[in-house]
Structure formats: C-alpha cells, structure tokens
Chain A
Amino acid sequence: MTVFDMAEVSLRELNQALHDATDGEFEVVNPRGAHAVASGIDSEISVTIDGPVGYYCAGMHQRGSVQVNGNASAGLAENIMSGTVRITGSATMSAGATGHGGLVVIEGNAGARCGISMKGVDIVVGGNVGHMTAFMAQSGNLVVLGDAGADLGDSLYEANLFIRGSVESLGADCVEKELRPEHIETLRQLLAAAGMDADPTDFTRYGSARTLYNFHIDDIDAELAGGAS
C-alpha cells in the first residue's frame, strides 16, 4: 500500500503517480477538498481516499477502483468508462455525468443532475437524488433507494431509472414503466454489486415515452394533394 499525503504531495504528483502505476493499492490522505483527485485512472489499481474531495474526483475513470471515505463535490466519476467508483458519503451535482460504463455507488445522497446524459454507466444511490436526475440520460441503469427530486428523467432516451421511494415529479417524456423479470434481475445484480440490501420488487421503473425522439412534421399540402388524386 502506497500512501500519498496531499498535505505534502501536489495534485500533479499524485495523479502522475496513479497514471504511471500499472497495479497496486494506493491510499490518499488529507485530500482537503482538492479537485480532480484520482482523475484519469486507466489501470487496474485500487485507490482509497480518506476525506472529502472537490470536483471531478475519479473523472473519466477507466479501470480499477476508487473509494472515497467522505463526501464529493460536482462531477464525481464524470464520464466513467468502466471500473468502480464508490463513495461512503454524499455527492453534489452531476455525479456520474455522461458515464459510458462501469459502476458508481453513492452510499449517501446525490444532488441535482445525478446521471445527467449517462451513456451506459450503472449508478446506485443509497439515499435520495436531487432535481433533474438523469436529464437526457441515454443508456445504463440508475438505482435510487431513497426519493427523487423534481423533473426526474427529463428528455430521457433509453436509460432505465429504478426508484424505491417517492418521485417529486417526472420530467418531459419520462413515464412509469412495467418492472419485468429482467429488470428485477438487473436490479438484484446491481444491488448486490453495490452491497446494498433492498428488495428489487420494491422499486418502480421509469423510462422514456419516446415521444420526443423525432420532430413532428405536418404536411397539409401533401395531404390535400393525396386526397385529390
């Protein structure tokens, strides 16, 4: 286990060391809210961060695992490709934004726009999520054990949203959908992977009504011409 004390080591030195590593375990102490901690990791290393982190912790994470023992600010694990990012506390806005793959686990709450534009990532939130969660979410699964704020899943594409608690309001084109056996199985696997104890059948699934996928274009002239012939 290699330990980096951010009271002594700069962000640049830390990230460069993590980028240069090909395997092993690393511990980061005294992060003191620094931004971009452990961003851009692309090897099978495991990093534990003890304390609060700022923006973009584990940003663009590609492989290996990052665990934050504390809270995180905006853009936790933004654009994650694969691997795992776990946080024991809460995350502010845009956690897991645009993630293409991998697993993000937030044991506490997530703020606004959690999973915004997600593109294949799986996100599991132990607590509640804020407004505009999964805005324009394209694919992947979002699991929320608590409640969801206003405008859940606005302008949603093909992502699945599973909410156990209440939903303040649904965003444009987001509708409640049937929880079929394959969804229960997905949920079961995700809850197990996240280490969360919940009954998959307690969740409600939300998805896209797909009414915003294409512009609605009228053509009165063609209709009249067709009628005449």
Chain B
Amino acid sequence: MTDWHQRESYSYDRNVIAEIRRAANTGIYRIRGWGAKRELPTLDDLVLLGASMSRYPLEGYREACGTDLTIGAETAENPISLDIPITIAGMSFGSLSANAKEALGRGANAAGTSTTTGDGGMTPEERTHSATLVYQYLPSRYGMNPDDLRKADAIEVVVGQGAKPGGGGMLMGQKITERVGEMRDLPVGIDQRSACRHPDWTGPDDLAIKIIELREIVDWKVPVYVKVGAARPYYDTALAVKAGADAVVVDGMQGGTAATQDVFIEHVGIPTIAAIPEAVRALKDLGVHRGRVKLIAAGGIRSGADVAKALALGADATSIGTAALIAIGDNDPAYDDEYRQLGSAAGVWEDFQAGTDPAGITTQDPTLSSRLDPVIGGRRLANYLQVLTLETQTLARACGKSHVTNLEPEDLAALTVEAAAMAKVPLAGTSWIPGET
C-alpha cells in the first residue's frame, strides 16, 4: 500500500512523464513503427452467434466451407484469384529486408494468397518470390516504373494508410542505403519524408481519370484497388467505387507502419471495427456489396476470429501486416538480450524505423538481415495463414456457412455498448443497436 502523497497520477502517469522528458531532451516528435498501442475498441468486442436450435451448423471437418475470392472479374482480363480471405499488406523493400520480403512471398504462395509491394517500388526478387503480387501506386512514386506496373497482378492506388490517414511515408536515414537510395532516387542517409498527396491528381474525379490511365497502360489486364486509411470510410469507399476501383482496402487506425509519428499512430483515424460497417454501407448504397467491388479490411487482424468477424461485418477479405511480420520472426524471444540492449524487449519492440531489428526483418543491415532464413520464415507464415484460415472456417461452419463470405452481421453480437454502436450489431442478449433500434 503506497502513501497517499506518493500515489500515481492518472493524467501524468510514468509514460506521460517519460515522453515529456524525451521531447524536452530531443526537440523532435517520437517516430516509431508498429501500430496504435493504446486500448482501442477491437473486434474482440464482438462475438459470433454459433448455430443452435434456430440455425443449422455445418460439420467441422466434413462439410465444405469455401474460402476463395475473385477480384476484378468484371473489368480485368486477368482477375485476381485468392484461395484464402487473408492477403499480405503492402510493406516496402526498404522498410523490410530482402529476406523478409522473400519470406512473405514464399508464405503467401504456399497459402494461395497475394503479397503487396510498398513505398519504394518492386524488386526483381520480390516479383520472383510472389506468385500473386499487388503493385502499390503511391504519392511518392518512388521506384515507380511502367515495366513493373505491367508485371503486377493488380495495382493498388494508395490514398492513405490506417496508421496515418493524411500523412506521407517516412524512412529514416539509417535505412536509406545505397540500394534503397538508388531505387527511390534519393541521397543516401537522408530522412525520407514522402509526399502525402498524389502529385498529378487531387480529388475523386481526377482519380477516376487516373484509374483509366493505369488501366490503359496495362491494357485492362489487371484489377485496380484503392487503399484508404479509415477516417471517413463511408465517403472514401463511395468515392473509390465511383472512381472505378475493383477493390477498396480500408485500413483501420490500429494498422501497422514502418515509421510514423507516434502522435499520428495513436490519434488519427478510427478503429477497424468502426470502419468496416461504414465501408459496407457505402458499397450497399451503391449496389456493389459482395458484387463488383470487393472490400478488404485491414488494421489489427490477428486471428481467425478477427477474420471471421471482419467478414461477418461485410468485408470480402482481410489484409495483415504486423501479424505477418511476427509470424516470420519479429519480436522473437530468442533475441531478447539484443532487444534489451536496444532499450526494449522481445514482445514490446516497436522500432521498425530504426533499422536495428535483431530479427533481421525491418532492417537493411546485411548482417542482421542474414539472420532471417526466408525459407523457414515462409514456412512459418504459411502455417500461420493456415491457422487463420482453419479458424475462420471453424467459426463460419459453426454459424452454418458453406462459404466464409456468407457470414453476415446477423451472426454477430456486441459485448459493449460502444462496439454495438460502432459495428451496428445488437448488444449481446438484447436487440438494441444504439442509434438504430
């Protein structure tokens, strides 16, 4: 029992005090990786309502429960076919080591899903190791090359990212090595601050023309996605559809990042649980939900439960960043001593921006990155994706669904009033949806 006069302050707890002291010492905002760390409403605040008397479950191991998805069938000569509703999100070579990119490609191939390039262009190795590769088209246009565009299996126009809607990419000087600098046409060692707006279009009407240009350049062969950070998902999704997207990627505020201001990560955007229903509402209003335009939900997807709930809220697929990095070895307890030498520990390490990753994933240091065996990393990711898929199917079958995208909001209940209001599903044990019923 502490003395009354020595009690902790709620407003100025030790973390707050430490951050004020850090700011006073350095004069620069904290830039870090990972995603939001404070407690946010998540998909954990929802539960699935398994079948009982009024619903009919499917046999766990015997009855089929489909997981496949096609994107862009109406517009692209070569639509994207995914075996599972989980994709690997855009993470650049530069923010990640070449071995990490290879591991992601190998794991995704084994699981029958796609990987995505990132802010910095496509490497030849990446194209080789990923059977289905989505090419990001970003404001910075670093490494943007029409040959690579034509090599891509889909194009993702990045408007924003959940960790920083309204902000541009960052890559700190330690990670701008000669190869990374050459790919991005930047001087080695500078602190790269990417543009936050596209250089040659400004609004949704322009984006529609931009999408036509992209389609013309690739001769209408591949689908075009639009990725937005979750801030106003109803309007952003509607405008992306109007602009002609085949898929909209909505990335909630928990979404991971390689390097962003902490104040941005923790305070901008809305959580994934609140974003999905709004995006779905837009797709429904436009008559394209579960139809021409697919919704890919990202930001804090960790388990098959998260996947199943995202699909039940109306997403067609999910996308993972942080969890994929953890699967291939990020925050490995085997390197705990080294994490501690860096002033952190295995399990809380967040310094993706620093280039010092003991696990060899978020680094350009050749010695560190050689620690990651891309074949083993790929196997770990494939195993993890298999678990996510099996878990999703287990939950979908329990709700009586023969395909995971048959999950629907009716299969969900909320554990908190906040989650009920955000997800627009009833509070458990009631028929109450705040604001609606």
Which A residues fall within an 8 A CB radius of B? 11-12, 15-16, 19, 35-36, 39-40, 42, 54-56, 59-60, 62, 74-75, 78-79, 81, 93-94, 97-98, 100, 113, 116-117, 119-120, 135-136, 138-139, 157-158, 213-221
Interface residues of B in 23-55 (CB under 8 A from A): 24-28
Which listed residue, A120, A157, A220, touches B187 by the CB 8 Å rule?
A157
Q: Is B195 an interface residue (CB 8 A)?
A: yes
A-B contact pairs, 25 of them (CB 8 A): A12-B220, A19-B219, A36-B209, A39-B213, A40-B218, A42-B147, A55-B206, A56-B200, A59-B213, A60-B149, A60-B217, A62-B147, A74-B201, A78-B199, A79-B141, A79-B146, A81-B145, A97-B141, A98-B141, A116-B199, A120-B185, A139-B185, A215-B28, A217-B26, A218-B27
Between A215, A218, A221, the greatest number of chain B beta carbons within 10 A of the residue's beta carbon is seen for: A215
Which listed residue, B186, B201, B213, touches A36 by the CB 8 Å rule?
B213
Closest B residue by C-beta to A74: B200
Residues of A contacting B146 in the complex (Cβ-Cβ under 8 angstroms): 40, 42, 60, 62, 79, 81
Residues of B contacting A214 in the complex (Cβ-Cβ under 8 angstroms): 173, 189-191
Q: How far, in Å, is B76 (CB) from chain A's closest CB?
A: 14
What is the 8 Å Cβ interface bit string for chain B, positions 146-187, against chain A (1 contact, 0 not)? 110100000000000000000000000100000000000111
Q: Give the dominant DSSP class at A's interface.
A: loop
Residues of A contacting B27 in the complex (Cβ-Cβ under 8 angstroms): 216-218
Closest B residue by C-beta to A119: B185
Which B residues fall within an 8 A CB radius of A? 24-28, 140-141, 144-147, 149, 173, 185-187, 189-191, 195, 199-201, 206, 209-210, 212-213, 216-220
Q: How far, in Å, is A59 (CB) from chain B's closest CB?
A: 5
Q: How far, in Å, is A129 (CB) from chain B's closest CB?
A: 15
Q: How far, in Å, is B155 (CB) from chain A's closest CB?
A: 12
Residues of A contacting B209 in the complex (Cβ-Cβ under 8 angstroms): 35-36, 54-56
Q: Is the Cβ of B186 less than 8 Å from the Cβ of A157?
A: yes
Q: How far, in Å, is B214 (CB) from chain A's closest CB?
A: 9
CA distance A40 to B26 in the complex (A): 47
Q: Is the Cβ of B217 less than 8 Å from the Cβ of A39?
A: yes
Between B145, B210, B220, the greatest number of chain A beta carbons within 10 A of the residue's beta carbon is seen for: B210
Q: Is the Cβ of A213 less than 8 Å from the Cβ of B213?
A: no
Q: How far, in Å, is B301 (CB) from chain A's closest CB?
A: 32
**Known contacts A35-B212, A55-B206: does B140 contact A158 (CB below 8 Å)?**
no
Residues of B contacting A60 in the complex (Cβ-Cβ under 8 angstroms): 146, 149, 217
Which listed residue, A40, A78, A98, A138, touches B216 by the CB 8 Å rule?
A40
Residues of B contacting A55 in the complex (Cβ-Cβ under 8 angstroms): 200-201, 206, 209-210, 213
Residues of A contacting B199 in the complex (Cβ-Cβ under 8 angstroms): 78, 94, 97-98, 113, 116-117, 135
**Known contacts A59-B213, A213-B191: does B141 contact A218 (CB below 8 Å)?**
no
Q: Is the Cβ of B187 less than 8 Å from the Cβ of A213?
A: yes
Residues of A contacting B201 in the complex (Cβ-Cβ under 8 angstroms): 55, 74-75
Residues of B contacting A218 in the complex (Cβ-Cβ under 8 angstroms): 25-28
CA distance A201 to B147 in the complex (A): 39
Residues of A contacting B24 in the complex (Cβ-Cβ under 8 angstroms): 220
Closest B residue by C-beta to A61: B146
**Known contacts A214-B173, A219-B26: does B200 contact A98 (CB below 8 Å)?**
yes
CA distance A16 to B191 in the complex (A): 41
Q: Is the Cβ of A217 less than 8 Å from the Cβ of B210?
A: no
**Known contacts A213-B190, A220-B25: does B216 contact A117 (CB below 8 Å)?**
no
Q: Is the Cβ of A36 less than 8 Å from the Cβ of B216?
A: yes
Which listed residue, A16, A56, A93, touches B213 by the CB 8 Å rule?
A56
Residues of A contacting B190 in the complex (Cβ-Cβ under 8 angstroms): 157, 213-214
Q: How far, in Å, is A12 (CB) from chain B's closest CB?
A: 7
Q: How far, in Å, is B356 (CB) from chain A's closest CB?
A: 16
Assuming A40-B216, A113-B199, what are 15 further A-B pairs, CB within 8 angstroms?
Answer: A12-B220, A39-B213, A42-B146, A56-B200, A56-B209, A56-B210, A62-B146, A74-B206, A81-B146, A97-B141, A98-B144, A117-B141, A157-B190, A215-B28, A216-B28
Closest B residue by C-beta to A37: B216
For the complex of A and B, 9 pairs with smallest distance between CB atoms? A40-B217, A75-B200, A94-B200, A98-B141, A60-B146, A36-B213, A56-B213, A116-B199, A218-B27
Residues of B contacting A220 in the complex (Cβ-Cβ under 8 angstroms): 24-25
Residues of B contacting A213 in the complex (Cβ-Cβ under 8 angstroms): 187, 190-191
Q: Is the Cβ of B186 less than 8 Å from the Cβ of A138?
A: yes
Q: Is the Cβ of B219 less than 8 Å from the Cβ of A16?
A: yes
CA distance A215 to B190 in the complex (A): 9
CA distance A60 to B215 in the complex (A): 12
Q: Is the Cβ of B213 less than 8 Å from the Cβ of A215?
A: no
CA distance A116 to B141 in the complex (A): 11
Between A11, A59, A220, the greatest number of chain B beta carbons within 10 A of the residue's beta carbon is seen for: A59
Residues of A contacting B185 in the complex (Cβ-Cβ under 8 angstroms): 100, 119-120, 138-139
Between A16, A78, A113, the greatest number of chain B beta carbons within 10 A of the residue's beta carbon is seen for: A78
Q: How far, in Å, is B284 (CB) from chain A's closest CB?
A: 30
Which listed residue, B25, B144, B173, B186, touches A79 by the CB 8 Å rule?
B144
CA distance A227 to B326 in the complex (A): 42
Q: How far, in Å, is A25 (CB) from chain B's closest CB?
A: 21
Q: How far, in Å, is B137 (CB) from chain A's closest CB?
A: 10
Between A54, A117, A220, the greatest number of chain B beta carbons within 10 A of the residue's beta carbon is seen for: A117
Residues of A contacting B216 in the complex (Cβ-Cβ under 8 angstroms): 11-12, 15, 36, 39-40
Residues of B contacting A15 in the complex (Cβ-Cβ under 8 angstroms): 216, 219
Closest B residue by C-beta to A115: B199
Closest B residue by C-beta to A79: B144
CA distance A55 to B202 in the complex (A): 12
Residues of A contacting B200 in the complex (Cβ-Cβ under 8 angstroms): 55-56, 74-75, 78, 93-94, 97-98, 116
Between A75, A135, A158, the greatest number of chain B beta carbons within 10 A of the residue's beta carbon is seen for: A75
